[in-house]
């Protein structure tokens, strides 16, 4: 692989304006866009996931948008396979891959690669689960902290599954899982990867979220979600913000204004989690944007840094 090939990531919280900026960047750098969004991959969820309009999709080639039925599961492992193939195809065509979205895990799995090990021992795992039953997850977490403090920093004391997996790998290999994970290889090691995160003042971002939710309803969100609720949605698709909130409305558990309020609140909470995830990655270059700043002006800021 040629290390000179450039790959651009444009990430950020929901409603910050990634779509418009990505279009301007695509024009500037002869890029094709790959969605890095865990929900836009689904069909029949156009309004709910704020997909780019058909006009925009026709102006610049997009990938991994509306390609999976909402009844089917789609996870980070499948995304990695699909996205890597698209990246290679785009580079072969002499264009720049531009990955756009707010799903931090999807970005990380591409940039840093995936941790793969065949170190498994059902007997050890069973014994560790028995210890949890008798002594609690905090006891195992303290054991993990002694042998692998780096992993203990990243794993919540109540995340029993990940604690047990880390202890299992250590008991089999004699090495901390955090040390083995450093052997991962992703795009960062092979290409000229640049990551930009759009950010906006908190109150302005919240205002943009409220405007987006209002716009979604005007576009016909109620009809779209009503149709979706008649399907047997996959666990992942059912997590889209708006599904549960409007289900409560359709079932008479709350009024429409309350459903809207819950959508706005849950979207604000999601935006907070997105920003928390991205702030942990020191490789990201932050782009502060104003609520009235044009997409082309923001794209010019990024182009200057490139």
Quick check: 210 and 128 in contact, CB under 8 A? no
CA distances (Å), origin 160, targets 138, 152, 178, 228: 9, 12, 17, 34
* Helix then strand then coil, % of the chain, to nearest 5: 55, 10, 35
Question: How high does pLDDT run on average in the chain?
Answer: 93
Q: Rounded mean pLDDT of 126-137? A: 91
Q: Rounded mean pLDDT of 106-112? A: 93
Q: Is the pLDDT of residue 273 over 90?
A: yes
CA distances (Å), origin 222, targets 50, 236, 247, 261: 14, 20, 10, 15
Q: Which of 92-96, 97-101, 180-184, 234-238 is predicted with the least confidence, judged by mean pLDDT? A: 180-184
The CATH architecture one would assign to domain 122-181 is Orthogonal Bundle (1.10)
Confidence of residue 1 (pLDDT cuts 50, 70, 90): very low
Residue 102: per-residue pLDDT: 96
Residue 6: per-residue pLDDT: 96
Measured distance CA(35)–CA(183) in Å, rounded? 27
Tokens describing residue 23: 């279009």
User: Any idea what DSSP says for residue 200?
Assistant: -
Q: Is the pLDDT of residue 248 over 90?
A: yes
Q: Which of 21-30, 134-143, 183-192, 214-223 is predicted with the least confidence, judged by mean pLDDT? A: 183-192
Confidence of residue 116 (pLDDT cuts 50, 70, 90): low
Which tens digits make up the pLDDT trace of 154-178? 788 888 888 998 999 899 989 888 8
Q: pTM for the full model?
A: 0.81
Residue 225: per-residue pLDDT: 98
CA 243 to chain CA centroid, nearest Å: 18
Residue ranges per structural domain of the chain: 6-113+188-305, 122-181
Residue 153: per-residue pLDDT: 85
3-state secondary structure 123-135: HHHHHHHHHHHHH
pLDDT top residue among 221 and 306 = 221
Which tens digits make up the pLDDT trace of 68-94? 999 999 999 999 999 999 999 999 999
Q: Rounded mean pLDDT of 229-255? A: 96
Could you tell me what percent of the chain has a pLDDT over 90? Answer: 81
The CATH architecture one would assign to domain 6-113+188-305 is 3-Layer(aba) Sandwich (3.40)
Q: Is the pLDDT of residue 117 over 90?
A: no
Which tens digits make up the pLDDT trace of 195-207? 999 999 999 999 9
Which segments within the chain are labelled E, that is strand?
A: 6-11, 31-35, 62-63, 96-101, 192-199, 285-288
pLDDT top residue among 181 and 107 = 107
């Amino acid at each position: 692989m040629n290390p000179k090939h450039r790959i651009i990531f444009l990430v950020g919280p929901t409603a910050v304006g990634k779509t418009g900026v990505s279009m301007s960047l695509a024009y500037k750098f002869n890029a094709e866009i790959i969605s890095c969004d865990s929900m836009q991959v689904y069909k029949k969820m156009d309004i709910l996931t704020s997909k780019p309009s058909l006009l925009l999709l026709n102006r610049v080639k997009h990938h991994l948008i509306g390609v999976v039925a909402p009844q089917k599961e789609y996870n980070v492992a499948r995304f990695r396979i699909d996205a890597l193939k698209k990246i290679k195809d785009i580079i072969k065509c002499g264009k720049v891959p531009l990955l756009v979205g707010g799903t931090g895990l999807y970005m990380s799995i591409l940039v840093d690669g995936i941790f793969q090990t065949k170190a498994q021992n059902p007997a050890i795992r069973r014994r560790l689960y028995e210890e949890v039953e008798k002594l609690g997850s905090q006891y195992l977490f303290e054991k993990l902290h002694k042998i692998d403090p780096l992993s203990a920093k990243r794993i919540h004391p109540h995340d029993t599954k990940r604690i047990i997996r880390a202890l299992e790998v250590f008991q089999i290999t004699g090495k901390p899982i955090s040390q083995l994970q450093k052997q991962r290889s992703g795009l960062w090691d092979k290409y000229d990867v640049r990551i930009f995160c759009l950010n906006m003042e908190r109150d302005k971002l919240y205002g943009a979220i409220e405007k987006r939710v209002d716009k979604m309803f005007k576009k016909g969100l109620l009809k779209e979600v009503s149709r979706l609720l008649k399907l047997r949605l996959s666990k992942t698709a059912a997590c889209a913000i708006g599904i549960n909130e409007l289900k409560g409305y359709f079932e008479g558990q709350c009024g429409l204004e309350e459903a809207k309020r819950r959508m706005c609140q849950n979207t604000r909470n999601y935006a907070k989690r997105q920003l928390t995830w991205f702030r942990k990655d020191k490789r990201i270059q932050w782009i502060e944007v104003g609520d009235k700043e044009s997409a082309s002006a923001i794209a010019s800021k990024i182009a200057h840094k490139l």
